[in-house]
Each structure stands twice: as structure tokens, then as C-alpha cells.
Structure 1
Amino acid sequence: MQIAEFCKSIICILLVGYRILQTKARMKKSKKQIAFVIKCIWCLVFMGFHYGKAQKQIHFEDEYNRLKQLAQSDIHSALKQTDQLILNARNSGEQKFVVKGLYLKSFAYLLNGDPESCFENAQESLELAESINYKEGQALAYRILGTQYAKMEASDLAMQNFEHGLNILKNLRSQESYEVRGLILNSKLIVLGDGKEPQLTKEKLAVSLQVVEEFRHIEDPELRNNQLVSAYTNIGYNYADLKNPDSANVYFQRALSLVKPDNFYLQAAINHDIGYLHMGAKDYQKAIMYFKKALAILPDNNDFVNKKIEILKNLSQTYSENGDQSNFIKYSEELKKLSAVSNKKNFHSLEKSLQEKNKTIEDQNTEVSVYSGLLISLIIIMILLTVFYLYRSKENQKKYEELRKKISIGNTDNKSSNLKDSLQETSASASGKEISPETAVKSGLMVSEKTTERLRLALQDFESGTLFLEKNFTSAKLASLLDISSRTISDFIKTEKNMNFNWYINDLRVRHFIQKLDSESEFRKFKLTYIADYLGYSSLGAFSNSFKQITGIGPSYYMKNRNKELEF
């Protein structure tokens, strides 16, 4: 029964009640009978009020589910309409739907690559959910916070938030709790990474199957199917990594059959995943077809930037592996432009957030004495920052000169030792020491003299190439190339180079960066963000940390000073 129909029924019942009262009055019946009729009418009104309230909740739930779908096809419209949902929920006292609305906004900002706004709305959603003891709402907020951290590769923080959410839902068995639990488990797959090791992939597959079991508890068929789409997609992805294309394709097609035509994001995501499946099978033509189809589905604007970047990366890589350099260059340029848009968007959102915070501070501090105190504090801070800047500049210049001197000495002596060796003089290989039996036993390295020599030559070949520039290059991959165990190559590098494997790879990348600056004038024109990606780092921050650990100064400072020297 709809609200309008119910209201009509209530009016009819009231009219009937009124007629009864008139009849009773004419018949001069007892007052008790009249009171009984009045009570009946009030009961009906009370029932109507609660029915209307329940219908209002159903309306909010339907609107929330509709906006969840809209966020995956038209982000800006979804954000605008979600603001209206939140306003209506506040005015109606429906605090749970305020929580859900704020969560929905953070979800939309996550899809659109705006971490600042995502964190802001998720945190507000969490605080409100805690204040009204809405556990499913708290878990939703932790889910979106964890997912955003996972996108930023902050795995520890992501996992902490996911575990918080799951612990809150531990003893709950409501329809909503099943849905939220499935969503959190789904997002945990991001933290498990893109590793291709069978054991890790089987673990991810087990989690994906658990997600399906959680979603199958949802009674609403439309809501259940909407959630099963991502679960089936992840299972397909796992089977693709396990080299089981037939099972992967079954789940991809199953997911695609459940997606609504206007859900651009999920349609594009699934077509991308099917393309990824064909890419892994070296069926490049089909891979290209599905990647392009995925791009064509997404709207031609700045929505879904992260998904477009992911598709363009795999599309350009497919063209590269297929030997089509012209298309590789074309889509690599598109990828570069879109990445710049994404970075600019993040910068502007952060700048806007800072401006709003500064405005709030200014509004709150209206007293002249406070402004004077702030001014004096700022002057002191500026003086301290200037002194600190001059000191750091002097220290950096000193370190830069020492670095260039040591690099020049290394080049003059025609040494092939690692950059870390030339700077720190702690490596056994840099000092010309052979691996003694005692050292080998101490480090756990038990290889023959012949194997030792073979590994030395193999590492020389590896260092002269560019394999170490691949993203997420692991000791397992290098061990596979050299046909030895991961433990052996790690121990050998530790003994031979006096550093662990990760430091060894970073050392090679930093040295490669320095050599490219010296030898290629075009390379000096690139931005550090592009260079960090080229060198195989996940972010500019990761590259800067590695460079500073090895050389003592930042890459931007080194590049700026080296470019000035080379200009002359």
C-alpha cells in the first residue's frame, strides 16, 4: 500500500468514526461507548503515523540505493542529489540516513580520485555513526577509509580500518551487516595486492568466495545482484591470475549479466578485467578490443579518472608488448595527460581544504590581541624557517659536492661498484674482498665457488640492463631469471653487495637516474613525478626517500644543481 492510498483509507475511517459518534449521540448511548470509538480512532491515527514513518524510511533507503548506482555513472549528479538526501534526512530526524549519505559522498569522491574530500566525509560519517551507536554505519565509514588508504598504498592503515569495521560487525546478523561485511572483505583484496604467486592468489580467491557468501544473505534480489557484480569480478580476476581463463571468463560474464546498462563504472571495470584476462593469455587483439570498449563506456569528462588511468596503463602496455610503437606512444601520451589532470585535481582539493581551514581560524580569532600574537608568531616562524633553510641549503650543497666528487672518483677509477659502495665505503665488493667461507656460513649463504662466480657475472649482466626499473620487482622474479632460489639470491646480494635486496634495487635505480641526467639532455626536461614512475617507483615520495637514504640529499636538489652545471 502506497502512502497516498493509506491516507485515503485513514480519512475514510475517520469519517466512518464521525458518523458512528453522531449516531451514538442521537441514540443517547452511554459515554463509555463514545469513548471507546474515540480510542479506536486515535489508535488508527497512531498506526497511520508509524506507517508513514516506516514508508519514509523505505523512501530514504530506496533513494540511497538509487544514488549508489548513480555514483557509478554520473558522479557530479550523484553528489548533488546526495546533498539533498542528507538535508532531507536531517530535517526528518533520520540520522542513520545522514550517516549513509555522508558515506555515499565519500564513496563518490573515492571513485573520482579526490582523497581529501573522501577522508573528510568518511570521518564525519564515522563520528555521527558513533554518536548514535549505529554499528553498520561505523563499519561503512571504516570500509571507505580503509579503501582510500589502500588506494594510496598505505597498507597498514588500510588493514587497521578494515579490521575495525569487521570487529564491529562480528556478532551482527542483520541484512545490512551482511552487505557491509561483504563490502569490507571485497576492499581487503586491494591490500592483498597484485602478486601473481599461486599461494597469494588462492588466498585472494578464498576471500572473494567468502564475499559471495556474505552477499547471498541479502534478501532484496536487486541489492543482492548489485553487490554480487564486484564479487564475481574479483573471482574472475583471481582465476585469471591462476591461469584458469575458462573459469575466469565464466565469472566475468556472470558479473556482466548483472550490471545495469546505465552503470558505466562497473561495465567499464568488467570489460577492462576481461581485457586483462586476454592480455595475460597474449591474445593482444582481444585485449585491445576490450580495453577500448571499457574506455568508450566511460563518460568523456573528468569523471572516473582513476579507472581511466588504470585502463590506459594496460592498453599502452598491451600495444608495447604487441610491438605497436605508434599506438603505444599515443596512449602513453593520453595516460600522461590524464595523470596530470588527476594530480592537479588533488592539488586543488587540498588547496581548497587549507583555504577553508584558514578562513575558519580567521573568523574565530577576531580580537586584535589574538591577531597581534599570530603576527608575532608568524614572524618568528619565518625567521626560524629562513635560518633552517639557509642551514639546510649549506648542508645540501656540501653533500652535493661530496657526492659529485665521489662519483667522479668512481668514474676515473673505472669501478663498477654500486653507488652505495662509492658513497659509504662499507661494502665488501667495493673494497675488493672475496666472499670467505666464514662470511658465507655466517650469512647463511652455502654455494660453491663456481656458483658464486656465475652469480657475479649474472648480476653484472642484470646491472647493465634495465629490468630493475620494473614496478614491484622482487627477489623472487630475479631468482626465477637466474634459476636459483629467492633465499639464495637475497643472501648472495647481502654478502656480495653488503645490502639487502630492496636497497640493492633502489641503489641501481638511483645510479641509473644519475647516469641518465649526465648522458641525455632530454631526460633533464622531465618532471620528477614522471621520472619516479619511469624508475619503477609507486610514487614521487618513495623515489625521494630512496634517493635521500642513499645520497643524503633529495633528487630535486641534485637534479637542479646538476642541470645548472651541465648547462655550462
Structure 2
Amino acid sequence: MKRKNNKLKNNIRVLLPVLLLVFTQTLFCQEKDRHIVNKAIELSFYSPDESVKLTQHLLKKAETPSQFVQAYLIEADAYRAKGEYSKCANNVFNANQYREKVNDSLKAEILFRQIFLARTLRLYNQFDNYAAGLISLSENQDQASLSSLITIKLDIEKAFILFGKNEYAKGLDVLNTLEENHFPEIKAYSYLDKFYLVKAIAYKGLDEYEKSNDYYVKALNDYLKNHSKTNRLTEIALVKGQAELQFHNKDYAKSIANLTIALQKAEKLENIYALEDINNLLALNYLALNDKENHNLYNKAFLSYNRKVYDLEIASVNECYSLIGEQQAINYTSRENTLKLYMYSALGLLFLILLFGSLLYFSNRAQKKRLKEIIGYLEVTNKLLVESTDKVKKMAPKKLSIPTETEQNILASLKKFEGTTKFTNKDMSLATLAAQLDVNTKYLSEIINKHYNDNYNTYINKLRINYIIEKLKNEPEYLNYKISYLAEESGFSSHSSFATVFKSITGIAPTVFIDLLGKEIHNKKA
């Protein structure tokens, strides 16, 4: 008996150090992995390539759904920082495979990445679907903190969507309501810099430049005070936003200085979208300074990145629709398997099974049909969709009695005006034109209505569209310019208003027109 006890004691003495060593190593590995996760998060928007290397290590070691989701989302953020939205989408949809196996916080993070992709690539139907998922998650949430965080982030995304549709006033209303109801939470979650940045963009869109500048300053101060200064995307947005305001105020030196800083940060991220935008703004600044050498340098870079951005957007949209299709196919297969299980376990309820099976069959068939339509439409249009707006109803003007000689003089003046490019001036209003022609505004409006069968706005817009069409036909380099540049060149205040007017006059979107015209020119040369 004593021998057995002694043997047991000896075994314990031998095993105890081994067990302690294993336990210590396990704790060390867990602590090391937590450090890697934190480092990967920190680098995702600062040095995305390094972050991806760390997430690849985490994915190799991942065992639980939460670990996989966390690694995929960090990698998605890294590719977002680089502007590689196809790879970002792949990681988000990989994470989405585990959505039902993780906590609500990670579910929300997956949906927010999907919302970002839908908003950035203008997949508005998908945005609404993901937003509905977040609202449902928030409403069924026991944690008040997570519910309020979802509300804050979702409202900011909704504001961005409205900005994309040129509805800045509505976007600002969303932000003001959010500030009124959740300002303490916005501050507590360290979202104040993002909130101020979005408000700055809203006021800039409304041409309230002083307020916009105030919010850019607030956003920058909060970012520098409360963050680790490792988010180059945020830094680029803040500096570039101020540079745009300085350009508007004709302070070109400061604008160029800020854009140079933003360009350096964008180059470190290798973000094609940011590089395209910044080079375009630099080219415009140097154009305003009549510095042809630098204008040509940055404009050439802008055109090069513009082509790359176009290709990236098409690839990203195709990738997203492909992933959405795969997800629907998985859901379809899952539902079919569920149906089989019901059929095997409930043979005695034949009528109910047949009814259920029929409903499920037709539902899935409709979903598959809808998916094919979406993908088919995407292939035809290549995502060159333009938001349509309601046409302004023409009000029948009161007839004026204009002397024949006056009428002829006004018509002659209009013909001379049409031979110039003055109509490309953004500030060319009815009153401005009347003053230049030295005529009465009512007479001028009446003459345009009578002889052109259009109101003043339509008359000017037709001149602008015809002008840019002639440029596209006769100067091939214009086919490579960005739509926003063509809008600026022809006198429109924004990309969206140009696209809407162009389509209303020609019947097709400007991007489609440019594509068709390019092919026609190529065929003629061949």
C-alpha cells in the first residue's frame, strides 16, 4: 500500500510541472493572439498590407465562428482602406457564413460592412435589405448600448446614402435628429469625429461653407484628441474636405498644401479612389492658377486613375452580385433540405406537406427568377445607372405683347449668345442673361418660350448638353474624362444634375452615350 502511495506521489511530482507548463503556454498563446488581433485592427486603416498578413495568421489558427468572423472583418476593413472592394466583399461574405453562430454584436458588424459595400457601390436595394436586418436586430436587442450604437451608425450610413442622391437637406435632417436624441452616446462611443465629418459634408453640399469648415475643424480636433491617429482614410477625408473648401474660397496655395498631404497618405494606402479624387482636385487648383505644367501632370495622373476606378467599380459590383447569388443559392439549398426533413418526418400529414412544398417551391422559383433578372440587368448596363428625377412641370406663361422689332433684336442677341460658351457659366441665370443682353427678363422669358418651346432652364440645359456632346464627338480625349469633369465643363453644379438632364434630353445616360460614341469612333477608324 505504501509502495502504491509513493508511486502515485512520484507520478504527481512528474506530471505537475508538465501540466503547469501546458497551462502557462495556453495562457501565453491566448494573450499573444489577443495582441495580434489588436495589432491587426490598429493597422487595418493605417498599413493594410501588414494587417492582412496578421489576419492570415489569425485565420489559420481560428477554431470558433467568432474567431473566423473577427479575422474576416478585420481583413475586409484592410481591403476597404485600399479601395479593393472585391476582396473586401469576399471577406464580408465569408464572415456572413457564420452569422447565425455568433453574438449580436458581431452580427451587426457583418451587416454594417455589407451596408458600406451597398452604399459605396450604389446597390440601393441591397442597402435597404441590410438596413432592415439591422433595425430588426436593434429592436430585438436587450443591450441598450448595442441598440443605440446600431442607431448611430445606421443613421450616419443613411445620411451618406442621401448625399449620394444629392439630397443633402434630408441627410442633414437625419443627422440633426440623431444629434438631438443620441449625442451623449455618440460622444461615449468615440464617434464624434465621424459625426462631425458627416455634418461637414452635409453643409458643404448645401453650399454653407463656413458651417462646413467649422465642422471639419471640430472633426479634426476630436480625431487628434481622442484617437490613436492610425486611420489614414479618416485623415484623408478631413484634409481633402478642408482643401475643397479652400479651393472654393480661391485659397489655392492652402488647398494644394492640404491636397499634397492627402496625396501622400493615399499613396501609402494605395487607394485608387482617393488617388483619383485628389489628383483631380490638384489639377483643378493648378488650372485655376494657370500653371499648365502642374495641371497637365496631375490631370494625366487623374485620367490614369479614373480608368482604373471604372474597372474596379465594375469588378466590385459584379463580385457583389455573384456573392449575393451564391448566398441566395445556399439559402435555397438549406430550405430544400428543411423541406425534405419535414417530408420524411411527417408523412402522415400529406396534404400539409404538399401545400407547404408548393409554397416553398414557388417562392424559391420567384427568388431565382429575380436573381437572374438582377444579374442580367447588371451585365447589360454595367452598373451605369442614373438616378431619375421627376420632370418639372412647365407652367403656362402669360402672353406678353412684345413689339416686333424688339422681338427680332432679342432673337438676334440669343443667336449670338448661343455662338459663345457663356452658357457654361454656372451662374448664368435668367436675370444674368437678361442683363448681358440688355433686355427685360419677362420679354426674354417670353421669347424663349415662344420660339424655342422651352422655359429658360431647359433652353440653357440644352445648350450645355449640345456643347458637351460636340466636345465628345470632336475631341476624343473628352471620352476619357470623368462625368463630374464633364458636368463642371458644361456648367452643371453636380454630377447627378448633369446626368439627369443629359438623360432627359438624349434619352440615355451620359456613361452609355460615351461608351456607344467610343465604339462608333473606333469602328470608323477600323
TM-score by structure 1 length? 0.56
Distance 1:69 1:192, change over 3 A: farther
1:449 to 397, 400, 420: 400
Distance 1:65 1:495, change over 3 A: farther
Partner of 1:193, secondary structure, is helix
Larger CA deviation: 192-201 vs 227-236: 192-201
1:216 aligns to 2:183 (yes or no): no
Distance 1:469 1:105, change over 3 A: farther
CA contact (8 A) 2:52 2:78 kept: yes
1:530 aligns to 2:481 (yes or no): yes
Q: Distance in 2 between matches of 1:149 and 1:236?
A: 23
Deviation at 1:64?
4.1
Equivalent residue number for residue 118 of structure 2: 149
Distance 1:531 1:99, change over 3 A: closer
Distance 1:253 1:277, change over 3 A: farther
Equivalent residue number for residue 190 of structure 1: 160
Equivalent residue number for residue 429 of structure 1: none
AA at the equivalent of 1:107 = D
1:284 aligns to 2:252 (yes or no): yes
Distance 1:559 1:344, change over 3 A: closer
CA contact (8 A) 2:263 2:278 kept: yes
Partner of 1:535, secondary structure, is helix
Question: What's the Cα RMSD here?
Answer: 5.5
Give the 5 Å matches for 1:544-555.
549=507, 555=514
Partner of 2:59, secondary structure, is helix
Structure 1 regions of 5+ residues with no counterpart?
Answer: 1-21, 27-44, 219-223, 357-439, 484-488
Q: Distance in 1 between matches of 2:182 and 2:139?
A: 15
Greater RCO (CA < 8 Å, at least 6 residues apart): 2
Deviation at 1:72?
1.0
Q: Which has the larger radius of gyration?
A: 1
AA at the equivalent of 2:294 = N
Give the 5 Å matches for 1:464-483.
none
Partner of 2:66, secondary structure, is helix
Larger CA deviation: 173-182 vs 277-286: 173-182
Q: Distance in 1 between matches of 2:170 and 2:431?
A: 17
CA contact (8 A) 2:219 2:238 kept: no
Deviation at 1:229?
3.1
1:511 aligns to 2:466 (yes or no): yes
Give the 5 Å matches for 1:294-373.
294-300=262-268, 303-343=270-310
Deviation at 1:461?
8.3
AA at the equivalent of 1:271 = V
AA at the equivalent of 1:334 = A
1:105 aligns to 2:105 (yes or no): no
1:77 aligns to 2:50 (yes or no): yes
Aligned length: 413
CA contact (8 A) 2:108 2:134 kept: yes
Equivalent residue number for residue 104 of structure 2: 135
Equivalent residue number for residue 370 of structure 1: none
CA contact (8 A) 1:458 1:482 kept: no
What's the CA shift string for 1:263-319, capped at 9, x where partnerless? 43333332222223333333222222211122223444x622222222223333333
Q: Distance in 2 between matches of 1:195 and 1:354?
A: 22
CA contact (8 A) 1:468 1:505 kept: yes
Structure 2 regions of 5+ residues with no counterpart?
Answer: 10-18, 324-391, 435-443, 488-494
Identity value in percent: 18
Equivalent residue number for residue 254 of structure 1: 222
Equivalent residue number for residue 87 of structure 1: 60
Distance 1:228 1:53, change over 3 A: farther
CA contact (8 A) 1:265 1:304 kept: no
Q: Distance in 2 between matches of 1:458 and 1:139?
A: 62
CA contact (8 A) 1:469 1:535 kept: no
CA contact (8 A) 1:211 1:231 kept: no
TM-score by structure 2 length? 0.60
Deviation at 1:554?
5.6
CA contact (8 A) 2:196 2:216 kept: no
Q: Distance in 1 between matches of 2:428 and 2:103?
A: 47
Equivalent residue number for residue 165 of structure 1: 134
What's the CA shift string for 1:362-404, capped at 9, x where partnerless? xxxxxxxxxxxxxxxxxxxxxxxxxxxxxxxxxxxxxxxxxxx
